[in-house]
Chain A
Amino acid sequence: MTEILGIPVTVIPGQLMLGLVNGSFYAMLSLGLAVIFGLMGVVNFAHGAFYTLGAFAALLGLQWFGINYWAALVLAPLVVGLLGIVVERLLLRRLYRLDPLYGLLMTFGLALIVEGSLHQVFGSSGQSYPVPAALAGAIDLGFMILPLYRAWVIIASLVVCFGTWFVIERTRLGATLRAATENAPLLQAFGVNVPLLMAATYGGGVALAALAGVLAAPVVLVNSHMGTSLVIVVFAVVVIGGMGSILGAIVSGLALGLVEGFTKVIYPEASNIVVFIIMALVLILRPAGLFGKE
């Protein structure tokens, strides 16, 4: 068996694959975070909680109503997105005129409410969500065994991420959105319903997080704190990439997932902290972030 740095070569593609799966979740979450921040100036601390809610929606949908995976892929983001719109209309909207720190604190409180309640009702031990039959099993690529579901997560999230990028950068709706990011009062003067746009954007960003949650449900244990540590890594990803750029958020999310996977191969003890160390390095060398303009 061939080895690199004393590690059997066959282990590497598997870990990189896992890294890429994690990277897909980072990319989807940091994308939503960046769009919401760009338009509303709110750092959505509840992003991880909405991701958790997406996974729970899929799990409970299956257990209570027999809703299958494919339907959950559509329904869970829809339900969570609607919840997001309610949150924006009732709560967040009152904070736009204040210091952005209050938005951060309020959504932190929201995250505690969601996670605390889920913890109390469903306990701390996780529940597993079955892999859908069509995606069960694995294919042998010769150099590695590729579990079908993981390949599906990567492809699906790439499609969603670049789809979102396309909508924002290449369509009329996206142009309106970008205009609102630049100067919302002026856009409103042109007759665009900016408050509606903001509610829809928050709902959309949150729905992306929920979709990531549904995609993650079969590969992780669904529990109340699955989003807590994830959102901290996503914050670091956002600091590294800079929140100004959609493409930056996607690319840095995927890349950092890969780096994490690679670290797991060569020095597993550091795999949890490698993203934070990279963040520290980026802050020293390029404080505005890799893709940020300041």
Chain B
Amino acid sequence: MRGTGLFYALAALFALCAPMLGIYPVFMMQLLCFAMFACAYNLLLGFGRMLSFGHAAFFGSAAYATSWLVTTHAWGPAAAILAGVVVSAILGLAIGALAIRRHGIYFAMITLALAQLVYFVCLEAPFTGGENGLQGVPRGSLLGVLPLRSDLAMYYLVLAMFFAVFVFIRRVVHSPFGQVLKAIRDNESRAISLGYDISRYKLVAFVLSASLAGLAGSLKALVLGFVTLSDVQQSTSGEVILMTLLGGTGTFFGPIVGAAVVVTLQQYLSDIVGGWVTAIIGAIFVACVFSFRRGIVGELAALRLRR
């Protein structure tokens, strides 16, 4: 499609210059972390048609793991982030292996229930700080050379990671593996009859998605310097679904748009409407299902095709 490349270049330029444009870097970092989370989620929902209702488990457990290692064991950020990703990958392997035994709505219910299990473990485990979570997580310095205490340094680290994840997901989707995944999404029986071991493909997609969600969670914990129970809660799983759905499932840029809209809404809407934010998010959900199932980016793309 003509113009897509130009669009990406402009978006990248904006992201690189954002701190100079006077946009609060912590807000931008938070946005990028959630955009990464939504892109990871989209890999599963958009390209594998698996509706997970428990992705907060991966996001949150990685955030907890990273925060715990940094605060109590003085690990450096790189090692702690890596450890967070490993934790979420292992958790993804366990939950994914169980969930892919069932399809569709059962898949959704199983991931929801297993994520609730993770939530209760985080609530009661001795190293998670219970209701308070873990506070005062230091950012440290990257590989001992680049101190991350300044927001600007941290911003460019998060941005670099985000670019890497975005390119990686594009690569995965366009690889032979991604093509098979899409084939399974479109017609599972046909993929089986062509001889593909579909459980293996689904599980790999699930673990990939869980790991990248974990990366987003670990980064978010370092950016904000704390992790709380809300990071593993069902509402966070709901938010990432909304971001993906609102932006456009199965499009590359949709989850980023969705994350930008939802994070901005939460940040600024709560000043105007106070506690009504949850109800408004619910209303956006309903509106999405009824009027633009393809999401913002999906609908725009469809509009352009029609012309």
> DSSP majority for the A interface?
helix
Q: Is the CB of A101 within 8 A of B104?
A: yes
CB distance from B269 to the nearest CB of A (A): 12
Q: Is A196 an interface residue (CB 8 A)?
A: no
Q: A102-B293, A109-B289 are in contact. Are A272 and B104 (CB under 8 A)?
A: no
Q: From the candidates A105, A112, A239, A275, name the one contacting B289 in the complex (CB within 8 A).
A: A105
Q: From the candidates B104, B120, B245, B281, name the one contacting A100 in the complex (CB within 8 A).
A: B104
CB distance from A235 to the nearest CB of B (A): 4
- Number of residues from A at the complex interface, CB < 8 A: 44
Most B-side CB within 10 Å, residue of A112, A119, A233, A272: A112
Q: Is A236 an interface residue (CB 8 A)?
A: yes
CB-contacts of B117-145 with A (<8 A): 117, 120-121, 123-124
Q: Is the CB of B101 within 8 A of A119?
A: no
Q: Is A273 an interface residue (CB 8 A)?
A: yes
Q: From the candidates B105, B110, B120, B277, name the one contacting A272 in the complex (CB within 8 A).
A: B120
Q: Is the CB of B278 within 8 A of A115?
A: yes
CB distance from A233 to the nearest CB of B (A): 8
Q: Is the CB of B289 within 8 A of A102?
A: yes
Q: Is the CB of B113 within 8 A of A116?
A: no
**Closest chain A residue to B278, Cβ basis:** A116
- Bound: A284/B97 CA distance, A: 9
Q: Which residues from A are CB-within-8-Å of B105? A: 37, 43, 100-101, 104
What mask results when residues 111 to 123 of chain A are scored 1 for a CB within 8 Å of chain B, else 0?
Answer: 1111111011000
Q: From the candidates A43, A99, A106, A239, name the one contacting B285 in the complex (CB within 8 A).
A: A106
- Bound: A79/B124 CA distance, A: 39
> Which residues of A are at the interface with B, using a C-beta cutoff of 8 A?
37, 43, 91, 94-95, 98-102, 104-106, 108-117, 119-120, 228-229, 232-233, 235-236, 238-239, 269, 272-273, 275-277, 279-280, 283-284, 287
Beyond A108-B285, A109-B285, 14 additional pairs, beta carbon < 8 A: A43-B105, A43-B109, A100-B105, A106-B285, A109-B283, A109-B288, A111-B282, A113-B279, A116-B277, A119-B275, A232-B113, A239-B109, A269-B124, A284-B98
Q: List 19 A-B contacts (CB under 8 A).
A: A102-B289, A105-B51, A105-B245, A105-B288, A105-B289, A108-B282, A109-B285, A111-B282, A112-B238, A116-B276, A232-B116, A233-B113, A272-B123, A272-B124, A276-B117, A280-B114, A283-B101, A283-B110, A284-B101
> Which residues of B are at the interface with A, using a C-beta cutoff of 8 A?
51, 98, 101-102, 104-106, 108-110, 112-114, 116-117, 120-121, 123-124, 234, 238, 241, 245, 274-286, 288-290, 293
